[in-house]
Amino acid sequence: MTGGRVGELLSSKPINQEITKMKANICASLLLTAVITLPAFGAPITNGDFDSCTFDGWQKDTDGWGDISVGQDFVVTNAAGNCAGTLQIDGTGTEAFFANTLFQSIDIGSAPSLSFDITIDSLLNSSASGFIADYFVVAFGDGSGAFYNADGQLGTIIEQQINGLASFSLNIMLSEALRSMANLTLEFQLLPGVGIDGFTDGGLSSLTVDNVALNTFDVTAPTTLFLISSGLLALSLRRRKNSRGDV
């Protein structure tokens, strides 16, 4: 800004009056921010990253009987300080006949997506004689025994056989239909594959779960910044008009 323009601006309005107007505009912007109602996001997943190196926040179930296993059906794995929750089945150290399930109650609210990392593995694979694939399911439940997908319809989020080692990092968009469902749970389930003779192949399979999260948008700071910026912009425009002598 040149010296002449500074002199012109100062002569058009007293400096104290300019400061008063600036304070008024900033206060108006802050008050506008204060009355904005932000969307109600879902409660965060408890211990979704297993940083506690425990199953705190999660519930375990074996064959529909609750947390009864004293074997290796549920273990916390620790890879150089990075802990995760692991379900196992169909091995000599496991007890489940039908399924092991890791789950917790959740409140989706308006969270737009669910993300999680999973790793699956099996002692045997399709190259082994007599191999019968175990499998896993990720789904929402409502306490009735039914499974629901990300659209709130009967089904699963993901269901797949286990044939050796594989890893997935998933980010699933969630339907608004899930928000009205009562007693909603997020469930990770591991089940044994059974042959026509009613027996499994006895090859241990595992499902490792980590970084489970309901994803939200942090809109508070951007909204505040936008409103304050808008107030300052309006003040700047008004000062320019005053400096030109406009009404």
The number of domains in the chain is: 2
Q: Are 18 and 121 in the same domain?
A: no
The pLDDT of residue 180 is above 70: yes
Which string of b and e fits 56-89 if b means at least 16 CB within 10 Å? eebebbbeeeeeebeebbbbeeeeeeebbbbbbb
Q: By mean pLDDT, which of 26-30, 65-69, 91-95, 124-128 is the weakest?
A: 26-30
d(CA 50, CA 116): 12
pLDDT in tens, 104-123: 999 998 899 999 999 999 99
pLDDT in tens, 70-81: 999 999 999 988
Whose tokens are 């496991």? That residue is 94
Please determine, for residue 232, whether its predicted confidence score (pLDDT) is greater than 50: no
DSSP string of 99-165? -EEEEEE---BT--EEEEEEEEEESS-TTSTT---EEEEEEEE-SSS-EE-TTSSBS-SEEEEE-S-
* Sheet strand arrangement including 113-122: 74-79, 82-89, 205-215, 113-122, 166-173
pLDDT at site 216: 82
The answer to whether the CB of 184 falls within 8 A of the CB of 108 is yes
Q: Read off the CATH number of the domain in which 92 is found.
A: 2.60.120.680
74 in the same domain as 175? yes
pLDDT in tens, 196-226: 999 999 999 999 999 999 998 654 444 444 4
Calpha distance 176→153 (Å, rounded): 11
pLDDT tops 60 at residue 190: yes
Query: Is 31 found in the same domain as 89?
Result: no
Are both 96 and 205 inside the same structural domain?
A: yes
Tokens of residue 204, six digits? 């241990």
Helix (H, G, I), strand (E, B) or coil at 239: helix
Residue 129 has pLDDT above 80, yes or no: yes
Q: What is the pLDDT of residue 18?
A: 53
In whole angstroms, how far apart are CA 145 and each of 139, 183, 196, 202, 221?
A: 11, 12, 25, 27, 41
Q: Give the pLDDT score at 42.
A: 54
pLDDT of the residue at 13:
45
Residue from 227, 231, 214, 230 nearest 39 by CA: 214
Do residues 211 and 225 share a domain?
A: no
Range in 9-23, 150-164, 166-180 with the lowest mean pLDDT? 9-23
- How buried is 186 (Cβ within 10 angstroms: 0-12 exposed, 13-18 middle, 19+ buried)? buried
Looking at the structure, do residues 122 and 190 belong to the same domain, yes or no? yes
203 shares its domain with 229: no
Mean pLDDT of 188-192: 98
Same domain flag for 181 and 207: yes
Provide the residue range defining the domain that includes 13.
3-38+220-243
Q: Is residue 32 part of a domain?
A: yes
89 and 106 together in one domain: yes
What value does the mean pLDDT take over residues 35-56?
75
Same domain as 113, residue 85? yes
Same domain, 64 and 167: yes
Q: Give me the sign of the Cα torsion angle 45, 174, 110, 219.
A: positive
* Helix orientation angle between 3-12 and 220-243, rounded to the nearest 10 degrees: 90
What pLDDT score does 110 carry? 86
| Percent of the chain whose pLDDT exceeds 90 | 66
Check whether residue 235 and residue 187 sit in a common domain. no
- Which residues have a Cβ under 8 Å from the Cβ of 216 and sit 6 or more positions away? 41, 42, 111, 112
